[in-house]
Structure 1
Amino acid sequence: MIKQTGTGLVIRLAATYVGAVIGAGFASGQEILQFFILYGYKGLLGALVSAVLFAYLGAMALYLGVKLRAGSYQELLSYLMGPWAGKFMDILSLFMLVGGLGVMLSGSGAVVQEYLGLPQWVGVGVALLAVFFVIMHGLTGLLNVNVILVPVKLAAVCLIAGLALAARGLPAELPFINQHGVGGHWLWSSLLYVSFNMVVPVAVLSSMGRSIDKRTGIYAGILGGLGLGFAVAMVTIAGLAFYPHVTNYEVPMLYMASGVSASLRPVFALLIWVAILTTAIANAHGFASRLAPAGGKRYRFFGFAVCLAVLPLTLLDFSFLVRLLYPVFGYAGMALFFSLLLVPLWKFCKR
């Protein structure tokens, strides 16, 4: 396969990385509230740590994918964790991708039902059709749809956060209240946040090892990681401007958007749906590329099959699925997080 290069590919890869992370939890603001805002201004230190880690880990996943000429994340896991632990993490990651896809499709139905008053199955069906369309076009379809949708949702998140901050301004003093924050400490919370959000990107990015060169992968990983860190910081700052009232809402970004202008509500609903869609696409691609690294008919078959297999999950409540699965995903991802963070450095020093 001829390797692709160029600035356009860097941007598409970076957009794919961002799209795999910014899902319903991020766009709603609930993730940022729990992992960063509840730590007051120290949450901004956590945002800085997450930006550095996202940039490093994204670049490392792409670099190793190219080095190993990986067609799926299985090769990367074996390299990082050895054959036995890598096989266990491989199976665990498959379940996490399936569960994440089910959560995203359920979330799509919930958004359509809540904001448009339409039956939940309409939102699920539209999202399914969009995922099917991208899977039909393989890796090219994944990259192209992300380069269109991801900048839109990233810009929308930052715009809403910026307008909210301009409307309120930061308070001179902010109580440091962290008893409800994830992890109990701002630093551990930021590490958990990155761990929680790296499983899907690693599955997606490492599958591109046969299609890009090392320099392109490194630049894309850094660009995508810094973009994620910037978005985290913007939402955190905006949340601090609305603190402590923002802590009382299930969808903090909606509260902030409504505080600026009522007309932002439908924009925010669209933002949530786009965020859900791009993450659902990333999950489906990660699963299909693992079972059919070469793409083609088998790739499309597994992509379609996993979408149909998770339909029973869409009958469950979206918030219930988030509460049930997300904490499990976060702690399960710690093994991959520390392996990707430390093993390449250890092997380099040993060599």
Structure 2
Amino acid sequence: MLSGSGPKGALISLKGQVWLLAKVVTAYIGAVIGAGFASGQEIMQFFILHGASGLKGVALATALFAYLGGYVMFLCTSLKSTGYKEILTLLLGSRVGKVIDILNLCMLLAGLSVMLSGSAAVFGEQFGLPARAGVLVVATLTAMVILGGLDGVLTANVFMVPLKFLAVSLISLAALRLGGGPVNLEPVVPAAAGVAGHWAVAGLLYVSYNMVVPVAVLSSLGRMVPRKIGVAGGVLGGLLLGAAVCLVTLAGLRHFPEASTYQIPLLYLAGRLGYGFQQALGLLIWLAILTTAIAQAHGFASRLAGGALKPYRIFGVGACLLALPLSGFSFAALVRLLYPLFGCVGLALLLALLAAPFSKFFRRPEKMLHIIKRFNIINRKI
């Protein structure tokens, strides 16, 4: 076991319960709010370009984030998982689960490279610093957090994730309150409507695209979080994610179509509020890159370590080193090349999560108990 879990069945104080809840909520939010979210570009493509219908997509995404967060934590705490392999096998079967498992590992490593490249872009374009320094700073900080074990990752999230969550929310609220016209609810022409022509498809794709890393992160908490706290944290984290998406969408609609012409729409909104806001947003985007990099390195390491601390540290630091060569490529080029693959794998995982509770298998508690016991036996053998 990595760290942070007390004796089985031990009573947890109210303060301890709140702390565990905060760890689950921030782990979930931190895995989703990456550079694309913090820049506003993801929200623009998936929701803002749909006008009023985009708000329906936001509502759908919020419901899915809340449901899936709670359900994933239910599965993780039931299986006492330390990584996502158990979850994939349970949802997809051993054969398909192995394929998705390998793809997930590759995606986490590739995603870490994208974050390192994104840090280089922010250092060079926003702060006027050497681009390579951006790569090395994020790689070093990520490795240092991983060396602290699971508690190090969760504690880093508890302090950093609320900061970037509040920054996104406050900038969006300020943009809604100051300047701009009324909220524009007219959709753009369907041919230009972001990643999908229909708001429901856009909402579904947005969640599937953003669930791969959260599943990898949340699955590592199965042994350290009681079921009720885990489920509550998953649901609350999903609702807060939906609230942030809604605020950014409303702010973007108020400043539409001007905001849609920018690569970083939130940077345009922050610029309307003043130079200080613009610089703060640059720091926010970099912070989002850092927390996402930590989440991806953690997901990679926890999958391969099997709950042991020393291998976890080795695989986590190794992931940072392996991600360095690919990080030399352009951030935009890596996103165009890799993110469509992320979406395809995420869609398979999303469909499995949505279908699982309605299958005959999950209506038989004794069957699930048998699988849980089998996983425990396998883990002991390993």
TM-superposed deviation, 1:168 = 3.0
AA of the residue aligned to 2:362: F
User: In the alignment, which residue of structure 1 is the partner of 2:54?
Assistant: 43
Structure 2 residue 330 is matched with structure 1 residue 336: no
TM-superposed deviation, 1:349 = 3.7
Structure 2 residue 25 is matched with structure 1 residue 14: yes
Instruction: Note closer, same or farther for the CA distance 1:297–1:26 as it changes in structure 2 (3 Å cut).
Output: same
Check the 8 A contact 2:183/2:255 in 1, yes or no: no
Q: Equivalent of 2:109, from 98, 116, 132?
A: 98
AA of the residue aligned to 1:45: K
TM-superposed deviation, 1:321 = 0.9
Q: Equivalent of 1:152, from 163, 179, 182?
A: 163
Q: Equivalent of 2:196, from 161, 178, 183?
A: 183
User: In the alignment, which residue of structure 2 is the partner of 1:24?
Assistant: 35
1:269-308 correspondence to structure 2 within 5 Å = 269-308=282-321
Give, in whole Å, the separation in 1 of the partners of 2:183 and 2:50: 16
User: In the alignment, which residue of structure 2 is the partner of 1:212?
Assistant: 225
Give, in whole Å, the separation in 2 of the partners of 1:349 and 1:183: 34
Give, in whole Å, the separation in 2 of the partners of 1:319 and 1:148: 29
Check the 8 A contact 2:76/2:218 in 1, yes or no: yes
Give, in whole Å, the separation in 1 of the partners of 2:126 and 2:29: 25
Q: SS of the residue aligned with 2:126?
A: helix
Check the 8 A contact 1:66/1:212 in 2, yes or no: yes
Q: Equivalent of 1:229, from 234, 239, 242?
A: 242
User: In the alignment, which residue of structure 1 is the partner of 2:176?
Assistant: 165
Q: SS of the residue aligned with 2:191?
A: coil
Q: SS of the residue aligned with 1:205?
A: helix
Structure 2 residue 257 is matched with structure 1 residue 244: yes
Q: SS of the residue aligned with 2:210?
A: helix
Structure 2 residue 163 is matched with structure 1 residue 142: no
User: In the alignment, which residue of structure 2 is the partner of 1:348?
Assistant: 362
User: In the alignment, which residue of structure 1 is the partner of 2:376?
Assistant: none
Check the 8 A contact 2:183/2:253 in 1, yes or no: no
AA of the residue aligned to 1:135: I
Give, in whole Å, the separation in 1 of the partners of 2:58 and 2:310: 41
Instruction: Note closer, same or farther for the CA distance 1:223–1:172 as it changes in structure 2 (3 Å cut).
Output: closer
Instruction: Note closer, same or farther for the CA distance 1:261–1:78 as it changes in structure 2 (3 Å cut).
Output: same
Q: SS of the residue aligned with 2:303?
A: helix
Check the 8 A contact 1:135/1:303 in 2, yes or no: yes
Give, in whole Å, the separation in 2 of the partners of 1:295 and 1:266: 41
Q: Deviations over 1:122-164 (max 9, x none)?
A: 1111111110111011110111000100000000001111111
Q: Deviations over 1:21-73 (max 9, x none)?
A: 00000000000000000000111111111111001111111110110111110
AA of the residue aligned to 2:225: I
AA of the residue aligned to 2:41: Q
TM-superposed deviation, 1:327 = 1.7
Structural RMSD (CA): 1.4
Structure 2 residue 281 is matched with structure 1 residue 268: yes
User: In the alignment, which residue of structure 2 is the partner of 1:316?
Assistant: 329
Check the 8 A contact 1:192/1:331 in 2, yes or no: no
Check the 8 A contact 1:207/1:293 in 2, yes or no: no
AA of the residue aligned to 1:96: M
TM-score by length of 1: 0.97
Give, in whole Å, the separation in 2 of the partners of 1:282 and 1:124: 16
Check the 8 A contact 2:184/2:256 in 1, yes or no: no
TM-superposed deviation, 1:8 = 1.4
Identity of aligned residues (%): 50
AA of the residue aligned to 1:243: F
Q: SS of the residue aligned with 2:343?
A: helix
Q: SS of the residue aligned with 1:243?
A: coil
Check the 8 A contact 1:102/1:310 in 2, yes or no: yes
| Structure index of larger Rg | 2
Q: Deviations over 1:153-205 (max 9, x none)?
A: 00000111111111135526543214222121110001000000000000010
Give, in whole Å, the separation in 2 of the partners of 1:333 and 1:173: 31
TM-superposed deviation, 1:345 = 3.1
Give the gaps of 5 or more residues in structure 1.
Answer: none
Give, in whole Å, the separation in 2 of the partners of 1:203 and 1:21: 12
User: In the alignment, which residue of structure 2 is the partner of 1:107?
Assistant: 118
Q: Equivalent of 1:201, from 214, 233, 240?
A: 214
Give, in whole Å, the separation in 1 of the partners of 2:328 and 2:350: 31
TM-superposed deviation, 1:350 = 5.7
Check the 8 A contact 1:19/1:150 in 2, yes or no: yes
Instruction: Note closer, same or farther for the CA distance 1:350–1:296 as it changes in structure 2 (3 Å cut).
Output: closer
Give, in whole Å, the separation in 2 of the partners of 1:20 and 1:172: 29
